Structure 1
Amino acid sequence: MYRPTLDHLADSLALTALVAGSPIVTLFLLLGVVRVRAWLAALGALAVALLVSIVAYSMPAGQALLTASQGATFALFPLAWTFGTAIWIYRMTVTSGHFDVLRRSFAKVSDDQRVQALVIAFCFGSLLEGLAGQGTPVAITTVMLLALGFHPMKAASVALVANTVPAAFGPLGLPITTLARVTDLPASDLGAMAGRQVPVIALFVPLLLVGIVGGRRGLRETWHVAMACGLSFALAQFLTSNYSSAALADIVAALVSAAVVAGTARVWPPRRNADQVTDATSAGDRADPW
């Protein structure tokens, strides 16, 4: 069985890591600089990854191709199934009118877009990531933000940034269990270690979301809600992953932080101006973004 080493190239960890990151760099260059289509950029990054594994890491070509095919299958089928089901459920809720009920429920927490970004993109998105993953949180929360009056680019940006924290644990701890199988390390230890690292990032992401939505002024006016959101999420994620189960870390943290944000927004609401408040009642009349 092929086993990679951490310092395979010239006994240098830095050089090995630099070469290992070349597929990701290739993907970013093709997407951001050359501006090719996403599927072509993905194929280009895959070609570089195969070249690096075979030439630089001396991996047998058969195993490299088998690994690529298994990885593609593992990513494609859950993604297609989950994303397709999410769109179907969304369209069903829109047609039945239940999506408006959900939208009004979120709007009752606050009609301030900065708070809505925390509740929907961060809290609700983390709950979706903990239950489904595979891009579902970004897809659904982006649509919900659009329905509440967010600009399309801002809605997508907020949803993507918010998904950085819960993605480490993924749907029911899938990344942790996958890593445990690959490394033969205990899943409980890996989950606990992730639960000591990811909460540090969770402290700052809500502040970043508020800054994206409201700029510096919005950050000055809503910092206390964002801090309450980040602190509660980080603490719940740490305690759950270290003393209960990594599979439930995102779910518990999402529910706890949502309750804290709702309570903080009611007890200590942020100052608002006309540009930062959305009319939740009129947003329901917007066209179906799908």
Structure 2
Amino acid sequence: MQWNQNYAALQGSLLLTALVVAIPIFFLFWALAVKRMKGHVAGLLTLLLTIIISVLVYRMPLSAALSASALGMVTGLFPIGWIILTAVFLFNLTVESGQFEIIKSSISSLSPDRRIQALLIAFSFSAFMEGVAGQGAPVAVAAAMLIGLGFPPLPAAVICLVANTPPVPFGPVGVPTMMMSTVTGIPATTMARAIGIDMAFMALIIPFFMVVVMVGFKRALEVIPAALVAGISYGATSLAISTYFGPELPAITASVVSLLCLVIFIRFWQPKTTWTFEEDKVANPATGVRHTAGQIFKAWSPFLILMLVMGLWGTPFFKNYAEKTHHWFLAVPHWPWLDGVVFKAAPIVAKPAVYGASYKWQWLTAPGTAMFLSSLISMVVLGISPATGAKVFAKTFMQLRFALVTLASVIGLGFLANYSGMSFTLGLAFAVLTGMAFPIFSPVIGLVGVFLTGSVTSSAALFGKLQQVTAGHLGFNPVLTTSANLFGGVMGKLISPQSIAVACAAVGLVGRETDIFRKTLKYSMILLGIVVVVVLLQAFVIPGILPTAPAVS
């Protein structure tokens, strides 16, 4: 059976088709923001609605629609869900062992001020987690750590979502940027230089913006020196690494530099007044508590182990070894009822071309496996028995079960949107409606892609080629539009159901996804407005700031 994508399936009208197939997006917004559905319920209903529209509007074979959804759901769970599960497991082990109390004390001893603690954990440490793991782990771990420090659940989730933006295109180990390079054929080093400029600029803004979200503008001004130290040290390092070394290391290197610079700075500077939450019963939980360097080192050892293991996992030698050995991955070379069935059509491709479908999970080199191994090593170091570890793992799974359902359904939706042609219909409609104003909408398309899939990587896969082709048709530098897709997509992380589900699971607010969505929607739109202004400047005022690449028409 062969089925050709038709991007103007309704009466030959691209715009009419786009309007109808956008219904699932509007439904998902309505379900979360208005109806206040639980994330996993909204995700599953939206996926079901998308399947119905794909079959009725595009005449996609039902077997292919179900198969595409299943492929996305499996991909969502392995490797992405595996990363989230193991990240939270590692954190829960530190709690079970009692070592997290020492971690809290060590952070509080640096500063009792909640704003400084948020800069340390939600911005700098979260950026490190994005660099090594990504895909939910940074928000999950950082938010859980803030909860452990005594932050109220809702503020903890929101500020972590806001703070986790500058490192996203470069985490884990540069995957989103490399995906854009793979889809478009633009060299990864070129893409890294372009998005590196954007993210260095955002790094200057986000630490202060995060504190404003947390305490308001007036109180945020009191810690602007610390916010500048965190942001400038991160931005400068990220820009240098992305410019000269490519996309793999900017987030990891910059986050470590930012964390060290901030720790050193606050040794010599503290805000004039200490800000705490009204819920705080004790202004300084570290008062009277002293721990030796050895105790602090042991408490932080799970994360130090994670750094070492992830460093090994990222080496070319290790990756090449696993790639050459078939024992280290699970693969379905030809995904049933989908591979060889769907064909892309013009103008996405010059002539009809098969849209291949396969599944491969290289479980040995997967970041989640590295985190799981780090957890096992940490159990030995922390003195946790295998039986206790198994109980913690089971507890972690129960904690995340609904978040994993939401994750699977949203990724399934993203895959179906791609294979049915929905993503291309929406993108082409944007191009037709916007014309030379397309640079305004390039980041918007990226944001929509991330909202649909929960992943900047997936958004690059969905719309990267479309951004490149449209740039060629309109005479723009394709690096501008493709990097704008990544740039805007980052702001979509704040409202993506996947990210919100992870944040809710980490802070114990499962079922209250809509409360977080309502707050982060406002911040996402503010940041998107900043992104649009930057992209317009790059397009029409300072186009020479970005590297160039050949356009595709």
TM interval, shorter chain, is: 0.7 to 0.9
CA positional deviation for 1:166: 2.1
How far residue 193 of structure 1 moved from its aligned partner, in angstroms, is 2.0
Between 31-40 and 98-107, the greater mean CA deviation after superposition: 98-107
1:268-287 alignment, distance < 5 Å = 268-273=269-274, 275=276, 278-281=283-286
- Cα gap change, 1:244 to 1:69, in 2 (>3 Å): same
The RMSD of aligned alpha carbons is 3.3
How does the TM-score come out when normalised to structure 2?
0.45
Alignment-derived partner of residue 173 in structure 2:
172
How far, CA to CA, are the matches of 1:79 and 1:249 in structure 2? 21
- Tell me, in whole angstroms, the C-alpha distance in 1 between the residues paired with 2:258 and 2:38: 38
Q: Distance in 2 between matches of 1:224 and 1:239?
A: 22
1:252 counterpart letter in structure 2: T
Q: 1:78·1:134 contact (CA, 8 Å) conserved in 2?
A: no
Contact 2:32–2:38 under 8 Å retained in 1: yes
> 1:133 is matched with which residue?
134
Kindly report which structure 2 residues correspond to 1:34-113, keeping only aligned pairs within 5 A, or say none: 34-47=35-48, 49-50=50-51, 65-113=66-114
Aligned residues: 282
Q: Which structure dedicates a bigger proportion of its chain to helix?
A: 1
- Whole-Å separation in 2 of the counterparts to 1:20 and 1:186: 33
CA contact under 8 A between 2:196 and 2:243: conserved in structure 1? yes
Identical amino acids, percent of aligned pairs: 35
**What is the alpha-carbon distance in structure 1 between the residues aligned to residue 43 and residue 226 of structure 2?**
39
Q: Secondary structure at the match of 1:143?
A: helix
CA shift in 2, pair 1:54/1:148, >3 Å: same
Q: Deviations over 1:164-219 (max 9, x none)?
A: 22222221112222333333333222222221222222221111221133222321
- The match for 2:147 is 146
* Cα 1:229–1:75 shift into 2, 3 Å: same
- Whole-Å separation in 1 of the counterparts to 2:149 and 2:54: 46
Q: CA deviation at 1:59?
A: 7.2
Residue pair 2:204, 2:228 contacting (<8 A) in 1 also: yes
Letter in 1 for 2:270: P
CA distance in 1, matches of 2:19, 2:176: 23
Q: Give 1:115's aligned residue.
A: 116
In 1, the alpha carbon distance for the partners of 2:158 and 2:266 equals 23
Gaps of 5+ in 1: none
Higher alpha-carbon deviation: 39-48 or 271-280: 271-280
Following TM superposition, by how much is the alpha carbon of 1:105 offset from its aligned partner in structure 2, in angstroms?
2.6
Q: AA paired with 1:281?
A: A
Aligned to 1:184: 185
**Counterpart residue type for residue 105 of structure 2:** R
Task: Please say if residues 86 and 136 of structure 1, whose CA atoms lie closer than 8 Å, have aligned partners that are also in contact.
Answer: yes
Deviations 1:238-272 (A, max 9, x none): 22112113111111111111122223323332221
- Deviation (angstroms), 1:11: 7.2
Q: Assess, with a 3 A threshold, how the Cα gap between structure 1 residues 181 and 111 changes in structure 2: closer, same or farther.
A: same
Q: 1:225 aligned to 2:212?
A: no
Q: CA deviation at 1:98?
A: 2.6
Change (3 A) 1:57 1:156: same
**Whole-Å Cα distance in 1 between the matches of residues 228 and 163 of structure 2?**
14
Partners of 1:131 and 1:254 in 2: how far apart? Answer: 11
Counterpart contact for 2:200–2:236, Cα < 8 Å: yes
Task: Measure, in 1, the Cα distance between the counterparts of 2:204 and 2:266.
Answer: 18
Cα deviation 1:72-116 (Å, max 9, x = unaligned): 222222233222222322232223233233223322322211011
Counterpart code for 1:198: M
> In structure 1, how many angstroms separate the alpha carbons of the residues matched to 2:192 and 2:155?
32
**Distance in 2 (alpha carbons) for counterparts of 1:109 and 1:269:** 9
Letter in 1 for 2:38: R
Bigger CA drift: 207-216 or 112-121? 207-216
Structure of greater Rg: 2
Shift of 1:278: 3.9
Report what 1:245 is aligned to: 246
Amino acid at match of 1:270: P
Shift of 1:21: 6.2
Deviates more, 1:178-187 or 1:113-122: 178-187
- In the TM superposition, residue 10 of structure 1 has moved relative to its aligned partner by 5.8
Structure 1 residue 58 displacement after superposition: 8.2
Is contact 1:113–1:278 with CA below 8 Å preserved after alignment? no
Measure the CA separation in 1 of the matches of 2:200 and 2:21: 27
Please say which of residues 103-112 and 55-64 is displaced more in the overlay: 55-64
User: Shift of residue 126 of structure 1?
Assistant: 0.8
